[in-house]
């Protein structure tokens, strides 16, 4: 793992849930972890919702000043460049698609000195609710890179159907991610698997922290 981990992807790809899992897994190993909620586009399913979960594990959470209020508007009030110099791991949950990546773009210059310590993950989900093909999924990445003014380093295969996910779905998602990796020229960092399944090929277990309101 690198010190700075940026997580982005399509809306509905599960990037926020992956960010939360990444933070929790590092904290459980005794690492110092800071999570930055940079999602100023979508007020739903964001890392700012996990204040209690992170607090129980001594994970620092930094979020826009109006997150989780009736004034949930795009306003960033923190010094991300300074935060990047702190000890421990930094996980940045970026808003979905190219619109969300614009917020990250304002920090591109500040991150240049840390370039060797950054992983920029592009999260994909074969079963995303809007529906993706390999071409659509691959073609969005250059737009995210253009808006963020940063280059992705790896793909996270987070293909799932929520609590309806089966082992066969996971295997189908692997084949999909491999095609996306081939088209984008990026390696696959990991394939996630819901923690209620047992799939031998999977090494990264994903707890479901982000749930639709009807499942809460």
Q: pLDDT for 3-22, tens place per residue?
A: 999 999 988 899 989 999 99
Domain residue limits at 13: 4-215
Total structural domains within the chain: 1
Say which CATH number the domain at 136 has.
3.40.50.300
Q: pLDDT for 56-101, tens place per residue?
A: 999 999 886 544 444 444 445 567 888 888 899 999 999 878 888 9
- DSSP states of 51-77: HHHHHHTT-EEE--TTTTSTT--S---
Phi/psi for 73 (5° steps) reads -120, 160
- pLDDT (0 to 100) of residue 2: 94
Q: SS3 of 40, please?
A: coil
Q: Alpha-carbon distance 94 to 47, whole Å?
A: 10
pLDDT band at 158 (very low <50, low <70, confident <90, very high): very high
- pLDDT (0 to 100) of residue 116: 94
4 against 133, higher pLDDT: 4
Mean pLDDT taken over the chain:
84
Q: What is the pTM of this model?
A: 0.88
Whether the per-residue pLDDT at 130 is higher than 70: the answer is: no
Q: Give the residue from 74, 190, 34 showing the smallest Cα distance to 122.
A: 190
CA atoms within 13 A on the CB side of 122: 28
Sign of CA dihedral 152, 28, 173, 129: negative
Give helix then strand counts, H and E, for the chain: 7, 8
Ramachandran class of 45: left when φ > 0, alpha when ψ lies in -120 to 50, beta otherwise: left
Q: pLDDT for 162-171, tens place per residue?
A: 889 999 999 9
Residue 90: its H or E element = strand 89-94
List C-alpha distances in Å: 17 to 52, 135, 156, 184: 15, 24, 12, 23
List C-alpha distances in Å: 35 to 62, 64, 99, 134, 138: 6, 12, 20, 30, 27
Q: Alpha-carbon distance 147 to 193, whole Å?
A: 30
């Amino acid at each position: 793992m690198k010190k700075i981990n940026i997580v982005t992807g399509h809306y509905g790809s599960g990037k926020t849930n992956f960010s939360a899992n990444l933070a929790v897994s590092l904290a459980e190993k005794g690492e110092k972890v800071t999570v930055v909620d940079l999602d100023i586009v979508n007020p739903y399913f964001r890392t700012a919702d996990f204040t209690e979960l992170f607090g129980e594990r001594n994970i620092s959470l930094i979020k826009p000043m109006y997150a989780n209020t009736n004034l949930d508007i795009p306003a960033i009030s923190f010094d991300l460049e300074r935060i990047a110099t702190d000890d421990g791991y930094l996980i940045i949950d970026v808003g979905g698609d190219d619109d969300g990546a614009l917020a990250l773009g304002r920090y591109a210059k500040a991150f240049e000195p840390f370039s060797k310590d950054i992983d920029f993950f592009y999260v994909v989900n074969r079963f995303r609710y809007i529906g993706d093909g390999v071409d659509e999924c691959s073609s969005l990445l250059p737009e995210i890179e253009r808006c963020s003014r940063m280059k992705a380093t790896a793909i996270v295969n987070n293909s799932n159907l929520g609590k309806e996910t089966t082992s066969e779905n996971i295997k189908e998602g692997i084949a999909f991610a491999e095609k996306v990796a081939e088209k984008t020229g990026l390696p696959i960092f990991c394939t996630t698997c819901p923690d209620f399944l047992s799939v031998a090929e999977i090494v990264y277990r994903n707890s479901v922290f982000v749930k639709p309101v009807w499942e809460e």
